[in-house]
Chains A and B, each alone.
Chain A
Amino acid sequence: MNIQLLGLNHKSAPIEIREKVSFAEARLDVALAALRKYEAIEEALILSTCNRTEIYVASLDCSRGLDCLWDFISRFVKMQDPETRKYFYVLNNKAAIGHLFRVASSLDSMIIGETQIFGQVKDAYFKSRQSNSLGRILDGIFQEAIRVGKKVRTQTQIGKGAISTSTAAIELARKIFETLEDKKVLIIGAGKIGELTVKNLSSRGIKTVIVANRTLVKAQEIARQFLGEAIRFEDIFDYMRSSDIVISSTSAPHFVITRDEVIKIMRARNNAPLFFIDLGLPRNIEPSVNNIENAYLYNIDDLSQVCNVNIKERLNEAKKAQQIIDHCLGGVVKKLSLECQEEEGILK
Chain B
Amino acid sequence: MPSSYQFFFNLLVVIYVFSAVGYFIFFITQKTSFGLTGFVLALAGWILQAGLIAYRCLVFRSFAVSSLYESLNFFAWIIILVYLISERKRRLWTDGVFVMPLVVSLVAFAAVLNSDIRPMAAVLKSPWMAVHVTLCFLSYACFTLALVFAVMYLWQEKELKSRKVDAFFFRLPALESLDWLGYRAIVFGFIFLSLGIVSGSVWAQQAWGTFWSWDPKETWSLVTWLLYLGYLHGRLMSGWRGKKSASLAVIGFLAMLFTYLGVSFLFPGLHSYLG
> Cβ of B176 and Cβ of A273 under 8 Å apart?
yes
Cβ of A309 within 8 Å of any chain B Cβ, yes or no, is yes
Please report the C-alpha to C-alpha distance between residue A270 and residue B238 in the assembled complex, in whole angstroms: 8
Judge whether B241 is part of the interface by a CB distance below 8 angstroms. yes
Bound together, the chains give a CA A52 to CA B172 distance in angstroms of 38
- A309 near B244: Cβ-Cβ < 8 Å: no
A72 within 8 A of B: no
Determine whether B7 belongs to the interface, using a CB cutoff of 8 Å to chain A.
no
B154-185 interface mask toward A, CB cutoff 8 Å, 1 = contact, 0 = none? 00100011011111011011111100000000
A175 to B169 Cα, complex, angstroms: 8
**Residues of A contacting B166 in the complex (Cβ-Cβ under 8 angstroms):** 309
CB distance from B159 to the nearest CB of A (A): 8
B169: nearest chain-A partner, CB-CB: A175
Contact A271-B240, Cβ < 8 Å, known A296-B161, A309-B166, A309-B167? yes
Q: Which of A157, A160, A294 has the most CB of B within 10 A?
A: A294
Residue contact A176 to B239, C-beta cutoff 8 Å: no
Which of these, B174, B176, B242, contacts A293 with CB under 8 Å?
A: B242
A290 part of interface (Cβ distance < 8 Å): yes
Q: How many residues of A are counted as interface, with CB atoms below 8 angstroms from the partner's CB atoms?
A: 25
Contact between A294 and B242, CB atoms less than 8 A apart: yes
Q: Using a CB-CB cutoff of 8 Å, which residues 223-248 of chain B contact chain A?
A: 239-244
CB-defined contacts of B177 to chain A, threshold 8 Å: 178
Distance of A267 Cα from B156 Cα, bound (Å) = 23
B-contacting residues, A291-333, CB 8 Å: 293-294, 296, 298, 302, 305-306, 309, 313
Q: Is B194 an interface residue (CB 8 A)?
A: no
| Contact digits for A108-124, partner B, Cβ 8 Å, 1 yes 0 no | 00000000000000000
- Is B161 within 8 A of A177, CB to CB? no
Q: Note all chain A residues with C-beta closer than 8 A to B244.
A: 293
Of all chain B residues, the one with the shortest Cβ separation from A172 is: B160
Asked if A161 is an interface residue, CB under 8 A from chain B, the answer is yes
B166 to chain A: closest CB distance in Å? 7
- Select one of A175, A178, A271, A306 contacting B156, CB under 8 A: A175
Given contacts A157-B30, A175-B175, contact A305 B163 (CB under 8 A): yes
A271 to B170, CA, bound (A): 24
Interface size class of B (residues with CB under 8 A): 20 to 34
Residues 143-177 of chain A: 1 if any B CB is under 8 Å from the residue's CB, otherwise 0?
00000000000000100110000000001101111
Residue of A with least CB distance to B166: A309
Complex Cα–Cα for A188 and B156 (A): 28
B165 / chain A contacts, CB cutoff of 8 Å: 172, 305-306, 309
Q: Which residues of A contact B156 (CB under 8 A)?
A: 175
In Å, the complex CA distance between A293 and B30 comes to 30
- Do B173 and A178 touch (CB < 8 A)? yes
Interface presence of A272 (CB below 8 A):
yes
B242 in contact with A302 (CB, 8 Å): no
Residues of A within 8 A of B176 (CB): 176-178, 273
Q: How many angstroms from the CA of A227 to the CA of B174 in the assembled complex? A: 27
**Cβ–Cβ < 8 Å partners of B167 in chain A:** 309, 313
Please give, as numbers and ranges, the residues of chain A lying within 8 Å of B175 by CB-CB distance: 175-177, 273
Q: Chain A residues with Cβ under 8 A from B30's Cβ?
A: 157
Residue of B nearest to A270 (CB): B239
* A296 close to B160 (CB less than 8 A): yes
Give the distance in Å from the alpha carbon of A174 to the alpha carbon of B166 in the complex: 16
Minimum CB–CB distance for B180 against chain A, Å: 8
A155 to B, closest residue via Cβ: B31
For A296, the chain B residues whose CB sits under 8 A away are 160-161
Asked if A293 and B163 sit within 8 Å, CB to CB, the answer is no
Verify B174–A174 contact, CB threshold 8 A: yes
Contact between B243 and A293 (Cβ–Cβ < 8 Å)? yes
For B161, list chain A residues within 8 Å (CB). Answer: 290, 296
How many angstroms from the CA of A270 to the CA of B236 in the assembled complex? 10
Judge whether B169 and A298 touch: CB under 8 Å: no
Q: Would you call A271 and B239 a contact (CB within 8 A)?
A: yes
Query: Distance in Å from the Cβ of A165 to the closest Cβ of chain B?
Result: 13
**B167 nearest CB neighbor, chain A only:** A313
Q: How far is the CA of A178 from the CA of B163 in the complex (A)?
A: 19
State the Cβ distance, B106 to closest chain A Cβ, in Å.
30
Set of chain A residues within 8 Å of B172, measured between Cβ atoms? 175
Q: Is the beta-carbon distance between A178 and B174 smaller than 8 angstroms? A: yes
User: For residue B242, which residues in chain A have a CB less than 8 angstroms away from its CB?
Assistant: 271, 273, 293-294
CA–CA, A148 to B172, complex, Å? Answer: 30
Chain B 168-206 residues near chain A, CB threshold 8 A:
169-170, 172-177
B163 touches A298 (CB 8 A): yes
- A176 and B241: CB pair below 8 A? no
Distance between Cα atoms of A272 and B156 in the complex (Å): 16
Cα A176 to Cα B177 with chains together (Å): 8
Complex Cα distance, B240 from A267, in Å, reads 10
Further pairs besides A270-B241, A302-B163: 15, Cβ < 8 Å: A157-B30, A171-B170, A172-B160, A175-B156, A175-B160, A175-B174, A177-B176, A178-B173, A271-B241, A293-B242, A296-B160, A305-B163, A305-B164, A305-B165, A306-B163
Q: Which 4 A-B pairs have the closest CB atoms?
A: A270-B239, A178-B177, A178-B174, A271-B241
Please list 14 pairs of residues, one from A and one from B, whose beta carbons are closer than 8 Å in the complex, sorted by A's number. A161-B170, A175-B170, A176-B160, A176-B176, A271-B239, A272-B241, A290-B161, A290-B163, A293-B242, A294-B243, A296-B160, A296-B161, A298-B163, A309-B165
